[in-house]
Structure 1
């Protein structure tokens, strides 16, 4: 951190900045409700690990306030949501499968990710959060996966269960204590060209990139949804505990 950053009392409760898009404004009420449930799960898990949560809607927060809240945070989570606007990575604006986008939120989150990486603030990206991190650092996305990707047609539950293989020896494998996982996903896009500084550390059976981590900064991102109520294991709390440990070691 720079010398201008707020000084933290080592005995104070660590702060987790959860960055998303504010409730409302989405064209799909069912998707809106699902995102609210998923974010609530992240908040609950963070509290169980020991974090005090500061939830911030990226598009509705002035950049100077967002910067200040990042500087006061011990770690960051960028959550899932809508498609990243293709203009941020040179994608096709006319892609027929493109979902709703929130460019103002994307712009704010891109700036926040770059600052977090530069300042070495631990960062966890989930689903769209992983895609956003890749875009922020110079990568691009597969705009629509074959056969619709890992997303169910069931309007009551969009999650698909599948297997993920994690690279042995990766920081992610160490944090999770596993190299094979059964996970739940809901996404029709994925990381394409991997940004400089990131490395692929997990894939699905079909080759889809399922996790990346940074070569130098404490950044771990997963494409699946460990915060979903039907998820198995302790992936979410493992990631949050890894972020907390990295912050305390800095």
Structure 2
């Protein structure tokens, strides 16, 4: 285990979903995977639910974090990216979590705090910086998810091409099989974000900020069926970025 311990805030939408027990149990499994891999990588972790805290409390509770992971969950409310509801397969929204996570992303950019966004977290990064979403991807192709089944059965494995010049390629390589379950994707990337990976249908699969240590992936490296090496590799990269940011801060 690395000798220097850093603090990681693991941010989710909500801690419990009693209205959807099967989905809730599945989410708990994925969050536990992030917490476990982070601990093995030398992090201390706080699990934080944005929807239970709101903007001020979320910012306060994560103020001392060396890095942040924003996880997946419900559809982002369309009002945050200038769109309307009523789209196909529209899921529930959690506007309190949306607003709080958007504020967290903006602060991470201002403070250059390393951040990794996963699925919805990747999308909220873009929305926070003025980007838009593709509100519904074609379910029939089955590329990004298996539609019409419970969430824990909906994951689809597919190939993603990663820009060789990206930071992400240095972590995962330029062609990687990923595991995903989503019906939305980034449309127009937010300010400062560069597209660094796409699926076979052209959907945006990963973005990086051109200046800050902020990265988003559309897939789920924390899923139990995902490549077991992906999540530890992404967390190790986040750790290097946090160490670098800490050194820069101490030198300033």
Unaligned ranges ≥5, structure 1: 1-10
Q: Of residues 120, 141, 158 in structure 2, which corresponds to 1:162?
A: 158
Q: Deviations over 1:189-211 (max 9, x none)?
A: 00001111000000111111100
Three-state SS of the structure 1 residue aligned to 2:51 is coil
The TM-score, its normalising length taken from structure 2, stands at 0.90
1:64 is the counterpart of 2:56: yes
> C-alpha deviations, 1:137-196, integer Å up to 9, x for none?
1001000002366111442511001000100010111122x1000110000000001111
Question: Matches of residues 30-49 of structure 1 in structure 2 within 5 Å?
Answer: 30-49=22-41
Paired position in structure 2 for 1:239: 234
Distance 1:81 1:75, change over 3 A: same
Which stretch has the larger CA shift, 166-175 or 89-98? 89-98
In structure 2, the residue matched to 1:5 is none
What's the RMSD between the two structures over aligned residues?
Answer: 1.6
CA contact (8 A) 1:26 1:100 kept: no
| Aligned-residue offset at 1:12 | 6.1
2:248 aligns with: none
Counting matched residue pairs gives: 239
Report the TM-score when normalising by structure 1. 0.91
Residue of structure 1 aligned with 2:224, choices 219, 229, 232? 229
**Deviation digits for residues 75-117 of structure 1, max 9, x if unmatched?**
0000010100101001222224210110001000000110011
CA deviations on 1:11-49 (whole Å, 9 max, x unpaired) are 862110011122334643322221111111111111111
Residue in 2 aligned with 1:206? 201
2:88–2:136 Cα contact (<8 Å) kept: no
For 1:91-102, list aligned pairs within 5 A: 91-102=83-94
CA contact (8 A) 1:27 1:100 kept: no
2:211 corresponds in structure 1 to 216
**Alpha-carbon shift at residue 243 of structure 1 (Å):** 1.2
Q: Secondary structure at the match of 2:159?
A: strand
Determine whether 1:193 maps to 2:176. no
